[in-house]
Amino acid sequence: MANDTVTGPKGFLAAGLASGVKASGKADLGLLVCPTGAAAAAVFTTNKIVSAAVEVSREHVRSRKIRAVVVNSGCANACTGKTGLANARKMCSLTAGHLGAEPEEVLVASTGVIGHQLPMEKVTDGIMKAADSLSYSQTAGFAFAQAIMTTDTRSKHAVRRLTLPGADVTIAGTVKGAGMIAPRMATTLLFITTDVSITKPLLSRALAHAVGESLNKLTVDGHQSTNDTGIVLASGAAGHRTITSQCPRYKKFAAALTDLCDDLARQMALDAEGATRMFKVVIQGAASRADAAKAARAVADYPLLKCAIHGGDPNWGRIICAIGSSGVALNPGKLSCKLDDLYVFRGGAPTKFDVRQAARIVSQREHTITVDLGVGRAGDFCYGCDLSAEYVRINADYHT
Amino acid sequence: MANDTVTGPKGFLAAGLASGVKASGKADLGLLVCPTGAAAAAVFTTNKIVSAAVEVSREHVRSRKIRAVVVNSGCANACTGKTGLANARKMCSLTAGHLGAEPEEVLVASTGVIGHQLPMEKVTDGIMKAADSLSYSQTAGFAFAQAIMTTDTRSKHAVRRLTLPGADVTIAGTVKGAGMIAPRMATTLLFITTDVSITKPLLSRALAHAVGESLNKLTVDGHQSTNDTGIVLASGAAGHRTITSQCPRYKKFAAALTDLCDDLARQMALDAEGATRMFKVVIQGAASRADAAKAARAVADYPLLKCAIHGGDPNWGRIICAIGSSGVALNPGKLSCKLDDLYVFRGGAPTKFDVRQAARIVSQREHTITVDLGVGRAGDFCYGCDLSAEYVRINADYHT
């Protein structure tokens, strides 16, 4: 059977285990290793308050080669001052020590509750055990994916295989969280491995585009955490000539990477806290792409609509209300709205649609809302999920 | 007993009854009348999609005198095209006909579900009956307040009495809705009567300020409806010399009006759909007032925080996360956060606070969150409410 985890691409080992950071005893420490050193690229939260791990990884990702990523869940190590920063650095140096690498060749990520210091004895012990249990196996890939989870109900995996002149290339990824909300403290972590051979600047470019078109299009509660981190490591082990320009090989790789991230974003939407459904909002006929993005986000973030979708109610009035409230340029007389292929509003007035058919559409696991603003030719999209009483329960019953 | 309703100030009659627009048989049609003609001012939604009533009232409020306001609940008359617009005009002309006024002297407001036409036979009949039952009594004031409600669980009233040189002045107001969300279709209506004698421009100025400092500071789900309308009518019946400049009399009146609107905004927060608690977010030390307003709003709108407050959980990490995510200028090393008077975060690090005390604070009916951004001297505030499973139930189980 094919290995669809982060150990699938050639050149990567992984490990995941319970170090005791989580009181529940669940897995909370993961290691991802590329012994030969990988070209690496990363994206980070734009929140002005960032975790210690983000601070350190922002620095280390500039290194020519990255040999490992160490991740803990259960504690965000954010708002933890100088002690927190020292602890994040120590996670890197400990990992580097076990692998015979430099601390700067190690990236670090954390996720969990804000404002608590890491229990460093447990983390130190965990890193040692994880280093001892590193393996190229699929089991190890699964263990790593389990170790980065917080309130996720299942680990998420995606893989893409493509043939480039000279070699077959694999890209594999795992992600935790549901948009900005998933772990109780709101973080998303994304780790991608690939055996493609590519320069660091091109890898950065491909990652930024892929995340921009996928995870950054997903909103669960519209907020970005202090810890959001996305990392891609390229081992170059596939054995083809290195991609050094935006040639057709680059385009093929970048497209596959974007597709993989889109797959992971959809998995996240469906595993968002309390979510039972997801939807895609497509905006057309906008004056600018920025307007289209803003309108799409306004619809996907509108709690009243999210509740209606949870109830399987085709309440298109709430879509129109969110669009009007978003402040984008629109022509009320030309405005239209479709649920999948069913027009519910056209030319500024409601259509005579079949309410039962509309209810069936919004009751699906996934559906698409398309709105034409009637003023231009620009478009964009966004993913969202429903809002359930379970979301409130998860987030209200949790005590810091 | 003092009359604390909109018929309290001298010169106003009111009525409220069930015309049959609401299937439930609850009151859904209200009339507010000033036979001598009142100086009027109004504020409207900034949503680019507005109801027919908003379109008509925007026009009519320019009239020198307003003699009546006619309101229906149960149908928003929004996204209803030319028929909807004709119906809104007809509500004004019918009302004017019964009172011997001009249609332009009548304002109209609607609230309820979007995208449905008004049942005009019922509305016509209702306006006739309401005109017949007009009264200066407190009972009539209550009936009017009942008739404008949708998902509100109680009618809201506030009154302020002040002494100006030459006369005692009364201001009374009623409001429906909870921020932007209350009626299932998300609308807020505000009606204020006063017997003060004041010029129209000064009345407009006082209303804009009062609403800006109260209702516009309240967020329930961050969206503005197609129907939001706030109207103040000044009969001048108190009998003093007309206020024609920003003199001390104006300032006293404007302060009382703002205080009254603040009172109504707090009542709305506590009656928001599913809400059990409200909170005030105060931002200090901001680089600009706009930054302070943006940060306050980001905290009050953050679903994770709203859930935590519902659960009585002093989850300050979510406050810091929302602040960092809002994009405003801040100094991470100088950032501080208080729950009422209890510091939970200071100088960029958590304090050693008593968690049980903090939990008691956020479990109150109202509490104040104060955040100092540490970069300037500007400040602003915002009101918010908790997010409960009941909110989801109300908005998911409702079918269009």
Query: What domain count does chain B have?
Result: 2
Residue B187 has pLDDT above 60, yes or no: no
| Interface contacts (A, B; CB < 8 Å) | 207
- Residue B139 domain boundaries: 13-270
Q: What are phi and psi of A18, to 5 degrees?
A: -95, 115
- As a whole-number percent, the residues of chain A with pLDDT over 90 amount to 67
What confidence tens digit (pLDDT) does each residue in B75-123 have? Answer: 999 888 889 999 999 999 999 999 999 999 999 999 988 888 999 999 9
Question: Do both B258 and B371 map to the same domain?
Answer: no
Report CB contact under 8 Å: B49, A320.
Answer: yes
> Of B303, B304, B285, which is closest to residue B295 (Cα–Cα)?
B285
Residue B341 has pLDDT above 50, yes or no: yes
Question: Would you say residue A7 lies in a domain?
Answer: no
Two tokens, residue A265: 């974003």
Question: Would you say residue A229 lies in a domain?
Answer: yes
Report CB contact under 8 Å: B327, A115.
Answer: no
Question: Do both B176 and B316 map to the same domain?
Answer: no
- Per-residue pLDDT at B153: 87
Residue where a domain stops, chosen among B270, B291, B313: B270
Run of H or E residues at B308: helix B303-310
What mean pLDDT comes out for the span A312-335?
90
Report CB contact under 8 Å: A400, B355.
Answer: yes
- Per-residue pLDDT at B217: 76
Domain of B247: which CATH number?
3.60.70.12
What confidence tens digit (pLDDT) does each residue in A278-295 have? Answer: 999 999 999 999 999 999
Count CB neighbours of B378 within 10 A: 17
pLDDT range class, residue A183, cuts 50, 70, 90: very low
Nearest residue, CB atoms, A314 vs list B330, B355, B400: B400
Q: Are B364 and B277 in contact (CB under 8 A)?
A: yes
Q: B94 vs chain A: nearest CA distance in angstroms? A: 26
Question: Do both A258 and A371 map to the same domain?
Answer: no
Two tokens, residue B300: 């009050």
What mean pLDDT comes out for the span A261-270?
88
Residue A393 has pLDDT above 90, yes or no: no
What mean pLDDT comes out for the span A265-274?
84
Return d(Cα A206, Cα A380) in angstroms, integer.
19
Q: Is B187 a catalytic residue?
A: yes
ipTM value, please give it: 0.72
Question: Do both B259 and B318 map to the same domain?
Answer: no
- Per-residue pLDDT at B185: 35
Q: Which residue of B has its CA nearest to A351?
A: B115
Question: Would you say residue B174 lies in a domain?
Answer: yes
- Per-residue pLDDT at A184: 35
- Per-residue pLDDT at B383: 87
> Of A44, A151, A175, A195, which is closest to residue A108 (Cα–Cα)?
A44
What confidence tens digit (pLDDT) does each residue in A11-29 have? Answer: 999 999 999 999 999 999 9
Residue where a domain stops, chosen among B252, B270, B288: B270
Strands (E), chain B: 13-17, 29-44, 66-75, 106-113, 156-164, 167-176, 189-194, 229-234, 278-286, 336-339, 342-346, 349-350, 366-372, 378-385
pLDDT range class, residue A188, cuts 50, 70, 90: confident
Question: Do both A258 and A295 map to the same domain?
Answer: no
Q: Which residue of B has its CA nearest to A311?
A: B396
Return d(Cα A350, Cα B79) in angstroms, integer.
7
Question: Would you say residue A8 lies in a domain?
Answer: no
Question: Do both B297 and B377 map to the same domain?
Answer: yes
Report CB contact under 8 Å: B49, A323.
Answer: yes
Nearest residue, CB atoms, B314 vs list A324, A348, A400: A400
Question: Would you say residue B8 lies in a domain?
Answer: no
Residue for token digits 């692998």? A99
Two tokens, residue A96: 């580097």
Pick the more confident residue, A185 or B198: B198
Question: Do both A156 and A299 map to the same domain?
Answer: no
pLDDT range class, residue B222, cuts 50, 70, 90: low
Contacts of A356 in chain B (CB under 8 A): none
Return d(Cα B191, Cα B56) in angstroms, integer.
17
Report CB contact under 8 Å: A223, B302.
Answer: yes
What confidence tens digit (pLDDT) does each residue in A153-171 have? Answer: 899 999 999 999 989 999 9
With b for 16 or more beta-carbon neighbours within 10 A and e for fewer, the B249-274 pattern comes to bbebbbebbbbbbbbbbbbbbbbbbb
Return d(Cα B141, Cα B157) in angstroms, integer.
10
Nearest residue, CB atoms, B311 vs list A113, A186, A397: A397
Residue B270 has pLDDT above 60, yes or no: yes
Paired sense of beta strands A336-339 and A342-346, if any = antiparallel
Q: Which of B187, B194, B226, B370 is catalytic?
A: B187
Q: A185 vs chain B: nearest CA distance in angstroms? A: 7
Question: Would you say residue B1 lies in a domain?
Answer: no
- Per-residue pLDDT at A225: 67
Q: Which residue of B has its CA nearest to A49?
A: B324
Count CB neighbours of A209 within 10 A: 15
Question: Do both B259 and B187 map to the same domain?
Answer: yes
DSSP tag of B242: P
pLDDT range class, residue A340, cuts 50, 70, 90: very high
Return d(Cα A26, Cα A327) in angstroms, integer.
45
Question: Would you say residue A153 lies in a domain?
Answer: yes
pLDDT range class, residue B224, cuts 50, 70, 90: low
What confidence tens digit (pLDDT) does each residue in B192-206 have? Answer: 999 999 999 999 999
Alpha helix (H) residue ranges in chain A = 52-60, 81-99, 120-132, 138-147, 200-212, 248-270, 289-300, 303-310, 316-325, 355-362, 389-397
> Helices B81-99 & B52-60, crossing angle to 10 degrees?
50
What confidence tens digit (pLDDT) does each residue in A90-130 have? Answer: 999 999 999 999 999 999 999 988 888 999 999 999 999 99
What mean pLDDT comes out for the span A70-83?
92
Contacts of A222 in chain B (CB under 8 A): 301
Question: Do both B290 and B255 map to the same domain?
Answer: no
- Per-residue pLDDT at B265: 86
Question: Do both B186 and B43 map to the same domain?
Answer: yes
What confidence tens digit (pLDDT) does each residue in A378-391 have? Answer: 999 988 889 888 88
Return d(Cα B327, Cα B325) in angstroms, integer.
6
Question: Would you say residue B6 lies in a domain?
Answer: no
Report CB contact under 8 Å: A311, B398.
Answer: yes
Report CB contact under 8 Å: A349, B81.
Answer: yes
Question: Do both A245 and A298 map to the same domain?
Answer: no
Residue B186 has pLDDT above 60, yes or no: no
Q: B198 vs chain A: nearest CA distance in angstroms? A: 33
pLDDT range class, residue B225, cuts 50, 70, 90: low
Question: Do both B294 and B247 map to the same domain?
Answer: no
User: Mean of the per-residue pLDDT values for chain B?
Assistant: 90
What confidence tens digit (pLDDT) does each residue in A243-264 have? Answer: 999 999 999 999 999 999 989 8
Domain of A338: which CATH number?
3.10.20.340
- Per-residue pLDDT at A185: 35
Contacts of B400 in chain A (CB under 8 A): 313-317, 355
Two tokens, residue A329: 């340029």
Q: Which residue of A has its CA nearest to B336?
A: A79
Secondary structure of residue A369 in the 3-state scheme: strand
> Of B281, B269, B272, which is closest to residue B305 (Cα–Cα)?
B281
Q: Which residue of B has its CA nearest to A332?
A: B49
pLDDT range class, residue B327, cuts 50, 70, 90: confident
Return d(Cα A122, Cα A28) in angstroms, integer.
11
Residue B398 has pLDDT above 70, yes or no: no
pLDDT range class, residue B184, cuts 50, 70, 90: very low
Residue where a domain stops, chosen among A245, A270, A295: A270
Nearest residue, CB atoms, A226 vs list B304, B324, B355: B324
Residue A222 has pLDDT above 90, yes or no: no
